[in-house]
Structure formats: C-alpha cells, structure tokens
Structure 1
Amino acid sequence: MAMRRWVYAALAVARVFCACFALGMIHPDEFFQSQEVMARHVLHGDQQLQRQLHVPWEFRLPTPNRSVLFPALVAGLPYRLMEWLGVTPTGSRLLLIPRLLLCVSSFFLDAALWKCAKALHHPDPMGVVLSFASSWTTLIFLSRPFSNTFETLVLAACMLTLLCMNPHRNLCFQILHPQTLWLGALLAVGFFTRFTFPLFFFPLGLELVRRQDEILQTAFMKKNSQPGVLRRLMRAISIAVQGFISFASCSLCIIVLDSIYFRGMNLPVETVLSPAWLNENLVIAPLNNLKYNMHEFGYKVLE
C-alpha cells in the first residue's frame, strides 16, 4: 500500500508538471473555448495581446452556440481575481492559470473514483485510481481547458451524487428528494457545457429511478406487503418531475446569465432583469448549437 501511495504521488507530480510545462497545442479548442473568450475582458488599451485575440464564432452574435458558463468559471473568474490582485496579465499567465485550475480540479476526479469504487464494493479502489491517474487522457487532456474536461468533472459529480449521497433523505414533508434535485441541477450545468451531455447522464437517470423503486419495495416488504404498479409508477413520475423542475430552474438561471453576457453587458441592471427585455433577448446556446449542427447535417446530406 505504501508503494502505491508513492506511485500515486509521482503521478500527481507528473500531472502538475504536464499542466505547467507541456506547452504543445493538442487542438485549437483548448484556447477558443475559454481563454480567447475571457482574456479580452482583462486586456485593455493597445496591448499587443489584445490585438492578437480572436473571438471564436461560437461566442458571436446573433446566435451564440456556446454558453458563457464554462469559460467564465474556468478563465473569467480567475482572470478577474488576477486583475483584482493587481497581477499584470501576460500570455503565459493567461495560458497557465486555467490549466492549473483544471489540474487541481482533476484531483476531484481521483477522489470521486475512490468514493464510487468504495460505494460499489470494488475489491481494489486504489487500483482504479492508479489506472485513471496514469492514463494519458488524465495527464494531458484533463489539465487543459476543454469543455470536455469540465463535462467530465460534472459527470463525476453526478456519479458521486448518485452513488454516495443518502438516497433515503427527503425534505418538506417527505416530498422533495435532494439527491434528485442535485442531479437535475448538475444535468443542466452539463447540458449547457456540451449539449450532448444528456446522453452520458441518461444511464444515471435510469439507475436513480431503479434505486428509488427498490427502496419503495423494501419499505413495503417490511410491512409484509407489495407496492402496486400504480404506486411504483407514481414514484417514478415524482422523481422525473422533481428532476425536471430542478433542471429547468438551473437552466433558466444559465439562460439569463448568457442573455445578459451576450446582449446586455453595457445596459443598466434594471433593464436587463426586466421580463420584457429578457423575453426579446433570450440566448439559449444549446438550442442554437443544435440548430447549427442540424443545418450542417442537412446541408451535407443534400450535397
């Protein structure tokens, strides 16, 4: 066990080293999905870096194809903190800060894997973590600001919520199920990061319903009874409705954030928060992305 800990420590150092010194570009999206979008807000005047910036088409009006949520969390907030601390933005700092943030966040994946493996009674949780920590994907991709990286973090949070959160806990007169509400909110965050995220989430949603059905049957068995089909169906519908409400509420918050960022940055707060303005200027990035991809697919088919 001690040797495995040393191996993990060496792999952790290698991960940080790759984040800081592996400067080769894997794909332009490494820059176009976060740094290029957010750097313009901290580079002012005639700075040479400002003139070199290029805002990707996915973040341009009139139909932004990506939500600002991911770049704001990964690059925007750290850049603002750097500006607040009086640190001069340079090319290397703008490159490394999001990388280091995601590198640190990637260790959350290690912890999530460990906890999930323990929850599933895996015979060798440390072996699972070492396999993950030694993979090329972890050492290179997960310390770079791709939307896929953030998607991986959100999916890990979903698995942790499903496998490790108390499934029996209910609130508000046993009506609200916190586990379902958290999963609904995480689904919204993942969906607005990459609109394909629901495909990865779908098996987890089915497992949530299965586990809640199992809990219901166990509760009835203790009373020497069996729940009827209608009762089980109502429980499944209750879980689905609560998850949808949580998803819709979180999605609405992100839509408002995107709408203000893309269309109301220079307007008074009372204007951008008015229902009339929001109704006319809503930005639903995943829908725009889906329309774009469907249009391109149709164009290719017609060719």
Structure 2
Amino acid sequence: MFLKAEIFKAISFSNPVKLPLSYWLLVLLRFVLTLIPQTGYIHPDEFFQNVEVIAGDILTVDVARTWEFNPKFPIRNIFVPKIVLGPPLHLMRIVNPYSKAYLNINLLTPYYLLVIPRIFICILSLINDYCLYRICILYGQNFKNRLKIFASSYVVFVYCCRSFSNAFEMIFFSLLLLLVAECMLKSDKVIYHEEFLTEKYNQAETPVDKVKIFKLKTHLPEHSFNRVFILATLVVIGIFNRPTFVGFAFAPIFFWLHRGLGSKVVGFKDFHYRIFTFMLCGVPMTLLLILVDSSYYGYLTNADIESLKLSWDNWVVTPLNFLRYNSDTKNLKQHGLHPRWLHLIVNMPLLFNVLGIIALTTLSSNTYRFIRGQYSKLPRIQSITGLMLFSLVTPVALLSLFPHQEARFIIPVLIPLIYLYGNHLHPNEADPPKSKRLKNILCYIWYILNILLTLFFGFIHQGGIYPFANSLHREIKSYYGVHTHVITTHSYSIPTYLLQLESTTKVWKDKTTGHKYRLAPTTFLHKYGSLPINELFEKIDDVLNNAEMLLHKYKRQYRFYVASPCSLEQEIREASRAYNYIDIEQEFSYYPHFCTEAIPKFPSSRDQYCFESNVLRTNESQALDLSIYQRMSCFLKKFCFRIYRVRPANYKI
C-alpha cells in the first residue's frame, strides 16, 4: 500500500504557488493599455481577417469583406473567429439598448467596438501565461522570472491583445505545449514505476510476492493515449485557424508520439497505435469544421440537406484552399516576397530583441557541437528541454521556407523561447560577478526596448487611422443622409465596422406597407494604397465630378475628404496646382502617425516646407539657415495624419 501511495503521489502535479506582485502589475498594465485604447495599427489583417467580418454578420452593418472570404474561393475558416469574437459582439448588441436607455452609453461607437473585443482577447491571452506557469511548475523551473519576462514583452502587450489569427494560434500552441508536457511527465513516471515493478516481479521468489507486485502494476494509470482526443481536436482547430499551425504542432505531437519509446515497456507497436488513434480522434472536429465552413459560404444549404442530394461541390475545405493559394508564387508576389532568411535575421531580433539574439547564439553553438559529434553536450531529446527546443526551431525553420514572411507569423514561439532562455536575463546567486553584470545589462535592454516597441506599435505606427475613424463616425451620424466620400492614400484601410454604416446588402421590410427594399449607400471609402500623387488627383477629380453631378441633379449634399500622411503635403500641394478648379484645404491632423509607405525626409537647412509650417515665424528668419533643432522639430511634425477637405474652387461657405 505504501508503494501504491508513492506511485500516485509521484504522478500527481504540484499545487499552485503564489505569483509575484510585479507580474500582476504587468498583467494590469496589459489591460490598461488595451483600455486607453491603443491607437496603433499594426497590419490590416488585425481587423479584416476577423473582427470586421464577424461584426458585419452580428451587427448587420456594412463591412469590407476581403478576398479571403470570397465564397468562390474562401481560404479562411469562420469557426475560430465566431467562437472568439462572437461572444463580445453579441453581448454588445444585446446590452446596447439597455445601456443607451439607462446609462446613456452607446456601445456601438468606435471606442467600444475597438476595446471590448480586445479586452476579451486580452483575457484569453492569460491562457499563455497560465500554460508557461504550469510547465515551469511541473518541471520544477523558476516560473517567477520567466513570467515577468513574458508579461513584459511588447508582443504580449500589442499582438496578443488584438484580433490577429496569429494571437489565436499562440493560444492553441501554448495549450498544446502544456498538454504534451503533462503527458510526457506522466508517462515518464508511469514507465519508471512499471519498469521498477517488472524488475521486482522477476526477482520475487514466492507466488505471494508476485501476486502483490502484479496487483500494484494493475493500479498504474493508463498513459499511452493520454489526452489524445483533446490533442487531436486542438491540432485540427489550430490548422483550420491557420494552416501554418502544422509547423507549430509538429514538434509537440512528435514528442507526444515518442513518449517512452526505447524503454522496456513501450515499443513501435505503441507508436503506431498512437498515430492511428490520434488521426481517428481528429476526424470528428475536421468534419464539423468543414460542415461549418460549407454552410457559412453557401456551399451547403438546408434544401441540399433535406433532399439528400449532396456531392463534392457541397463541401469546402478552407485549409486546402489556403495551401493552394499560397503554393503559387504569383499570388504571394501580390503580398510581397521576402528573402528566406528574414525570420531568422530580422524578425526574431525585432520581436524578441535580446532573447532572440541569445537564442540564435545558443542554437548556433548547439549546431556546431552536433556537427563535431559532441552529443553529450546537447539537450536530451526526450525531455522538456528537447520539446521546447524543437518547438522553437521547427516552426521558424518551416515558415522560413515560404518567401512571404511577416514578423507576426512567428509570435507563438515566445513561449518556448522564454522557457529556454528567460533565466538568462536574471542573475543567480551562483553566477560570477561578470555574468551578473551582463545579465543585468541584458535585462535593462529587454525592458527598455519593449517599452519603446510597445509605444511605437501600440500608439505610433499608423496611429492616425483610429482617431480619424472616430471623428468620421461622429460626422456621419451628425450629417445623416449626406454623402461622405473619403480617399485614403499611403496608409492602411479604415476598418469599416467602426463607422457602423447601415447595411446596404440586407433586405429591409417596411412595417406599414410590407414593401421590401435595400438601403442605398451614403458613405464611400476609396482606398488607393500607395498610388502616385498625380494619379491620385485623377481619382479625386473623378469623385468630385460625380459628387457635383449628383448635387446638381438630385440635390445630394456631400462631404469629401482626402486622408494622407503629412510627409506628402508638398507633393499634394504641387499636384493640386494642375487642378485650379479643385480647392483642397487642410481640415485637421492627427499626431503621431508613422507609416513606412511615406517616411518623411530629413529637411535641409533651407527647406521651404519648414518655413511654410511656421517653424520660423518671422519674415526675417526666412533668410537664415535652419538650425539643427529647428530641422529636427520640422522633421518630427511630419509624422502625422492629415485630413484635407475637397471642394470646387468656387465653393462658398
């Protein structure tokens, strides 16, 4: 009985331990930064791949459905966005009438539409923290330092609190690592005790002792197929969310399949049984997600189900469409081709700064040892270190094979990265003085760079888009029925759902007459990317002529804006001279706003723009050269987002 108790005690997991106050302050800061809100705009995909589409479905408003959701060739699964973003958006829709009536708070405004889904995602991001904490506890590692490093990363502050499919992928990856780590630990302990009891059974001299030991062996818990259904389901959901999840799931599933392989009680027969069972357990969720996508995109209708006339044309498998699309280099060229070393040389240091550099240095040393045959100095394969090492290397290596590489694609590897190298930023008592100083310096660099990057990506990068959308929403509501034209250039697209435009695709019904109708659009967002300014003015001319025609023919009042980075003001002014019948006047500006599409040039000592921008305010000063301080001030003023009002030149207020 004592031996039996010891077995179960060894297999059970440790009790939770209190977390440091500094960690909780960082978690609180994560929520505060989300509530402020963060005005930075990292990439259009944070809106248009998830929340834009789901908001259109739930709130019945006009949205921009990108090509990825085209029913003719859909490549995005709808299940994960619905599960993650559906609850907060449904909550807003249900609660809004009551909040307006009793609290005079309209939840369907840009601030709440931006913040409430992000807060929900921010809560879900704590799953990553928990998984890292549990893995450290299970394997007796220092979790306090690692959690502080993790919670202070700008990747967590910015990326993990936004509706990126990569943020969801990181959650699935963290859960997968935790589940596999638990299974590995349990299998190691069960196999150890099973081998121990087998040895004692063979050494037993009497039948009574053999029976006792045999009974103890029967009480050992089953471990070979532990968590197989949950793991298979999680992998399937992750792949449908982003097919790149195959690269992240490969290492954990490989380690799960190889648990105990090579021991006396686990052989290749168990390995093959595990593979077959894992694949079988993934079938139900695969069929469910295919059914969900096929119904959502209109491939499968109620009439088809009732008539039982189903064919291959009734089904759509979005991950396969994703792979078909991205396997064609011509398609990737539209999104930008990158060198295959970009993840390794640029994105790793950009996302993880000193930790990324430490990882690259350590991995280079391990590669050298492997080539030299110094295998004893390498991490043991069937260990938690081996799991984390392969979970870090494999995704980055596989994703580097594709010529389109964005930094956010590899954010999930933050968990294994911090587990492996997080303690390199905190000195230990056993470290020599030089090592302590180096670790302290690296720790300061980590915190300083993450503060700067949080400010840049959270508030500065494309930071004028959200404030402009907020102002535009108020103006559209104030001038209801007036046509509003907005041209954006050299900047990201305005998330349409923030404007809460009444749906022009839904069929409405008049309660009195019963007549069905559709609303005509009154707001027009023209997105021209990085179109040259001369060509842009041709578009401005066309829009203005059309608006003037509707004004004179049907009395359709209109308001027309052009939104552009301030760095393009000189080009816009010069191009406007060729259109003397168009009056383009600065309306307002939003600062700060940084965009790589129009990075301003540092002004010369006699830059005319700086004089016209009132950097120097006296007429006499125009004969003087600008000082370096004045040039710097002028340069920084160009990092803004400027809104111009467009009217005919003879327009009178």
The two structures have a TM-score, normalised by structure 2, of 0.39
Residue number in structure 2 paired with 1:55: 65
Residue number in structure 2 paired with 1:159: 177
Which is bigger in relative contact order (C-alpha 8 A, separation at least 6)? 1
Residue number in structure 2 paired with 1:250: 285
Of residues 119, 136, 147 in structure 2, which corresponds to 1:129?
A: 147
Residue number in structure 1 paired with 2:136: 117
Residue number in structure 2 paired with 1:223: none
User: What is the 5 A alignment of 1:1-303?
Assistant: 5-20=20-35, 21-44=37-60, 50-51=61-62, 53-87=63-97, 89-122=108-141, 124-165=142-183, 166-167=186-187, 177-213=225-261, 217=263, 220=265, 232-263=267-298, 267-268=301-302, 271-272=304-305, 276-277=309-310, 279-297=312-330
Aligned mates of 1:175, 1:120 — CA distance in 2: 18
Check whether the contact 1:255–1:284 (CA below 8 A) recurs between aligned residues. Answer: yes
* Gapped regions of structure 2 (runs ≥ 5): 1-17, 98-106, 191-221, 338-653
The two structures have a TM-score, normalised by structure 1, of 0.81
| 1:91 CA drift (Å) | 2.6
Identity over aligned residues, as a percent? 27
| 1:273 CA drift (Å) | 7.4
240 and 85 in structure 1: CA distance in 2 versus 1, 3 angstrom threshold? same
Over alpha carbons, which structure has the higher Rg?
A: 2
Pairs aligned (count): 274
Check whether the contact 2:290–2:317 (CA below 8 A) recurs between aligned residues. Answer: yes
278 and 101 in structure 1: CA distance in 2 versus 1, 3 angstrom threshold? farther
* Gapped regions of structure 1 (runs ≥ 5): 45-49, 169-173, 221-226
271 and 175 in structure 1: CA distance in 2 versus 1, 3 angstrom threshold? farther
SS in 2 for 1:55: coil
Residue number in structure 1 paired with 2:410: none
175 and 164 in structure 1: CA distance in 2 versus 1, 3 angstrom threshold? closer
85 and 264 in structure 1: CA distance in 2 versus 1, 3 angstrom threshold? farther
For the aligned residue pairs, the C-alpha RMSD in angstroms reads 2.8
Aligned mates of 1:296, 1:252 — CA distance in 2: 30
113 and 148 in structure 1: CA distance in 2 versus 1, 3 angstrom threshold? same
SS in 2 for 1:42: helix
| Bigger helix share | 1
Check whether the contact 1:184–1:243 (CA below 8 A) recurs between aligned residues. Answer: yes
Check whether the contact 2:299–2:315 (CA below 8 A) recurs between aligned residues. Answer: no
Code of the aligned partner of 1:22: Q
SS in 1 for 2:108: coil
274 and 109 in structure 1: CA distance in 2 versus 1, 3 angstrom threshold? farther
Q: Which moved more, 1:145-154 or 1:22-31?
A: 22-31
262 and 272 in structure 1: CA distance in 2 versus 1, 3 angstrom threshold? farther
| 1:81 CA drift (Å) | 3.0
